[in-house]
Amino acid sequence: MHSQFRARIMNRLIRFRKVNVANSLTKSLQQQNINALSKTYATKAPAFNYIIVGAGSAGCVLANRLSEDPSDSVLLLEAGPKDTLLSSKRLMWKIHMPAALIFNLCDDKYNWCYQTTAQKHMNNRVLYWPRGRVWGGSSSLNAMVYVRGHAEDYNRWEKQGATGWDYEHCLPYFRKAQCHELGADQYRGGNGPLHVSRGKTNHPLHVGFLEAGQQAGYPFTDDMNGFQQEGVGWMDMTIYKGQRWNAASAYLRPSFTRSNLTAEVKTLVTKILFDGTKAVGVEYVQGGLTKKVYANKEVILSGGSINSPQLLLLSGVGNADDLKALGIPVVCHRPGVGQNLQDHLELYVQQECKEPITLYKSQKPIKMIQIGLEWLLKFTGEGTTAHLETGGFVRSRPGVSHPDIQFHFLPSQVIDHGRVKPNAEAYQVHVGPMRPTSVGWLKLRSANPKEHPVIEPNYLSTGTDIWELRQSVKLSREIFAQKAFDKLRGRELTPGSHVQTDEEIDAFVREKADSAYHPSCTCKMGQSSDPMAVVDPETRVIGLENLRVVDSSIMPSIVSGNLNSPTIMLAEKAADMIRGHPALCDKDVPVYKPKL
Residues designated catalytic = 518
Q: Are strands 194-198 and 236-237 parallel, antiparallel or unpaired?
A: antiparallel
Residues in the chain: 596
Give per-residue burial for 81-106: e unless 16+ CB within 10 Å, then b.
Answer: bbbbeeeeeebbebbbbbbbbbebbe
Provide CB contacts within 8 A for 58, sequence distance 6+.
137, 247, 302, 304, 550, 551, 552, 567, 568, 570, 571, 574
Provide the β-strand partners of residue 220. 232
Residue 325 CA to residue 109 CA, distance in Å, equals 33
Q: In 231-328, at which residue ranges do the beta strands (DSSP E only) sit?
A: 231-234, 236-237, 239-240, 243-244, 261-264, 267-275, 278-286, 289-301, 317-318
DSSP letter for 287, please.
T
Residue type, 369: I
User: Which of 300, 296, 247, 298 shows the shortest CA–CA distance to 269?
Assistant: 300
Q: Is 292 helix (H, G, I), strand (E, B) or coil?
A: strand
Cα four-point dihedral sign 493, 499, 502, 504: negative
Residue 542 CA to residue 580 CA, distance in Å, equals 19
Residue 562 CA to residue 138 CA, distance in Å, equals 12
Residue 111 CA to residue 138 CA, distance in Å, equals 8
Residue 405 CA to residue 395 CA, distance in Å, equals 6
Other beta carbons within 10 Å of 139 = 30
